[in-house]
Structure 1
Amino acid sequence: MNIVVAPDSFKGSLTSSQASAIIKKAIQSLGFGDTVTTKPMADGGEGTVDALVTASNGKRIAVTCTGPLGEKINTYYGMIDEQTAVIEIANIAGLVQVPVADRDPDITTTYGLGEVIKDALDRNCTSFIIGLGGSATNDAGLGLLLALGMKAWDQDGNEVGIYGRDLTKVTRISLNDVDPRIYDVTVQVACDVENPLFGEKGASAVYGPQKGASQKQVIQYDTAMKHFSELVETDQLLKFSSIAGAGAAGGLGFAFLLLGAKLLSGAKLVGEASYMEETIKQADLVITGEGQSDEQTLYGKAPGYIADLANKYDVPAVLISGSLAGNIDPLLEKFSGCYSIINQPLSIETCIAQAEELLYQQTKQTIHFIHKITRS
């Protein structure tokens, strides 16, 4: 059989690239002679760079930039051809990079994202794919824009700093000195949330608390984002703050809209960049998966996207996930089979620690069964 392996990450235990390799190893260990093509998936969050670099035989570009707390960090972005850069906020200002005790939107910044974009521009990149999932920030992209050349001042005429707390001080801005190269390139942003910039469903109200914001800070930031967007939109004679996705990654969606970017489904963007549809079209079987699957898997998540492509070409799709939750009947309408890798009562900690072996064994059982019934 020609089998396409395209899982998302098993968060907390396996990256999508690691999961793909384990599934491939399990299939090949059975000796049926299957051809296995791995296409690691992501939806714009952690693992987006690695998934696209692996799927396209691209490369990593090492870079030093400003981290989420203002310190210098060594990180990387991807190059999937000589002109396309893949950058994820999780590698630059990610929540996982900030210790729980230090999580506070006042002291985090997106400045490093602008530095990495400039590095890619210096390498003559003309196309960008930006993954916004997993940010530690809530600055409406202030840091990013400052790194790219925007000027912002407080009420006393002093230039503001690069941190979230500085957003509350901005009274005047100028975009005249933004690096002009950013307007001459194509920027596609992987964004799977539909929140506007501010309001009861905005960035601060919905995602601020998980980034360490107190209720008082949520109110302060919501007000600051509204004021900041009014300054920017008045300057540009445009309106982006209410667009679905403007509130993604603490308002980075808004900043990218300002720069002319397009906000797209993360799974679809990653899939198109790795030629997923063309690959699945030639397959006999598709295997996907994630950490936990439930009905939400069908709404914008990577396995749901993979299932839709497989169904389009009448290719059976199998879901192998860390766990299955709730009513799986909706999943069975799109997947030929849904399996959990948990084979006995185990604690969450044990499941995470043994994820590699559990995924390996469940894959072997599934593929062995498929071969036996197709040959009978």
Structure 2
Amino acid sequence: MHIILAIDSFKGCLTSEEVEAIFAQALTARGATVRSLPMSDGGEGMLEAFISALHGQIVPAEVHDPLMRPLLASYGIAPDGTAVIETAKACGLTLMTPEERNPLIATTYGVGELIAHALRRGCKKFIIGLGGSGTSDAGKGMLQALTDSFAPHGTIHDVLSRETAGCQFTLASDVRNPLCGREGAAFIFAPQKGATPQMVEELDRRARQFADSSARLMGKDASTQPGAGAAGGLGYAFMQYFNATAQSGADLLLDLTAFDQQLEQADLVITGEGHADRQTLMGKLPERILQRTRKHHVPVWLVAGQTDDTEELIAAGFSRVDKLTPEGMNLQEAIKPETTRQNIFRWIDRHF
């Protein structure tokens, strides 16, 4: 039996590669032929998944975290010189304790430093993952870091005309929100990052003000483009200043791994994530995999740490929807890596 593993990370527990390694070990022991494809939709684990697909290398870089503290972060470079940047490595929510989270002061400065590091190494193509941010500065910090790095006595225009001229930026993100308004970055995402209602209003005001001044500066306005609100408006800064294009992170990675061609040899695809529910059907990785496998009539099993809305997921086309966590097990126990490993082995024992 030929099985493709295309499983997203179990957030807070195991990376995509770690989850798939456990599945592969158990399935191979039962005689299956397994192909593991580390997965990400642009959020947590994006860097490792994309660099694995591109056969690239991880590069360390000294930058600043969202509170401007020194941080050793990393990004990736593919053999063709494409830089892969997971923005959460420099501005992620998990880089701050719950008490430290304040999107009024958290900055994307470190993201700009990662880009500057890659530019100095000759990178001209960039894949930017926008998930997991702890910021809502509309990318102003990122632009400031690039200005400080290349034109400390000039403006962002100097950077655009010299350092990033001819560069191509692709945003890996499934977020479709605009920058401002009730569906924008501040109102939809900032509360998850520690913002009070008053902070949300102020963040949205700042974003509108920045968009207005940027439109006058650049002669265009990207603030209403789908995805401009991703990563607290970081998507907007890339679109407005670097003409970046947004693409489903899941689809981008599936294309890079030649997923569709590999389906021709597959008998089964196993996909999954930490928690599967009806939101899974809103363009998340398992849903994108389901849409692609339909053309090849390959069954897809959805396996998650926890599941809700199982009937809806089955109705959408998954051949099987299972949760790994036994009834009655609390979340703190369930997300321990060793517990998850045991739960995966138990699940495979039952079904293979």
Distance 1:281 1:177, change over 3 A: same
Give the aligned partner of residue 25 of structure 1: 25
| Partner Cα separation in structure 2 for residue 142 and residue 275 of structure 1 | 36
What is the deviation of 1:174? 4.8
Tell me the TM-score normalized by structure 2: 0.93
Give the aligned partner of residue 10 of structure 2: 10
Matched, 1:233 2:215: yes
| Partner Cα separation in structure 2 for residue 78 and residue 247 of structure 1 | 24
- Equivalenced residue count is 345
Checking the alignment, whether the CA contact within 8 Å between 2:313 and 2:321 is kept in structure 1 is no
Checking the alignment, whether the CA contact within 8 Å between 2:66 and 2:135 is kept in structure 1 is yes
Give the aligned partner of residue 343 of structure 2: 358
Give the aligned partner of residue 92 of structure 1: 90
Tell me the TM-score normalized by structure 1: 0.87
Matched, 1:282 2:280: no
Checking the alignment, whether the CA contact within 8 Å between 1:294 and 1:331 is kept in structure 2 is no
Give the aligned partner of residue 48 of structure 1: 46
- Equivalent residue letter for 1:146: Q
SS at match of 2:335: helix
- Equivalent residue letter for 1:349: Q
Distance 1:52 1:365, change over 3 A: farther
Deviations 1:186-229 (A, max 9, x none): 21101211211111111111111221222222111111111110
Checking the alignment, whether the CA contact within 8 Å between 1:281 and 1:313 is kept in structure 2 is yes
- Equivalent residue letter for 1:187: F
Checking the alignment, whether the CA contact within 8 Å between 2:82 and 2:126 is kept in structure 1 is yes
Checking the alignment, whether the CA contact within 8 Å between 2:147 and 2:155 is kept in structure 1 is no
- Equivalent residue letter for 1:66: H
What is the deviation of 1:277? 2.0
Checking the alignment, whether the CA contact within 8 Å between 2:144 and 2:156 is kept in structure 1 is no
* Structure 1 segments unaligned to the other structure (5+ residues): 152-158, 160-172, 369-376
Distance 1:175 1:123, change over 3 A: closer
Checking the alignment, whether the CA contact within 8 Å between 2:81 and 2:122 is kept in structure 1 is yes
What is the deviation of 1:150? 7.9
| Partner Cα separation in structure 2 for residue 73 and residue 82 of structure 1 | 27
Deviates most, 114-123 or 129-138 = 114-123
| Partner Cα separation in structure 2 for residue 330 and residue 42 of structure 1 | 20
| Partner Cα separation in structure 1 for residue 312 and residue 64 of structure 2 | 46
| Partner Cα separation in structure 2 for residue 132 and residue 363 of structure 1 | 33
Q: Which has the larger radius of gyration?
A: 1
> After TM superposition, where is structure 1 displaced by more than 6 Å over at least 4 residues in a row?
none
The percent of aligned pairs where both chains have the same amino acid is 38
SS at match of 2:38: coil
What is the deviation of 1:253? 0.9
Deviates most, 37-46 or 331-340 = 331-340
* Structure 2 segments unaligned to the other structure (5+ residues): none
| Partner Cα separation in structure 1 for residue 63 and residue 108 of structure 2 | 10
Give the aligned partner of residue 137 of structure 1: 135
Give the aligned partner of residue 264 of structure 1: 247
- Equivalent residue letter for 1:73: L
- Equivalent residue letter for 1:10: F
Distance 1:58 1:365, change over 3 A: farther
| Partner Cα separation in structure 2 for residue 288 and residue 241 of structure 1 | 34
SS at match of 2:329: coil
- Equivalent residue letter for 2:159: V
SS at match of 1:13: coil
| Partner Cα separation in structure 2 for residue 64 and residue 360 of structure 1 | 39
SS at match of 2:250: helix
Give the aligned partner of residue 184 of structure 1: 166
- Equivalent residue letter for 1:64: E
SS at match of 2:131: coil
What is the deviation of 1:141? 0.3
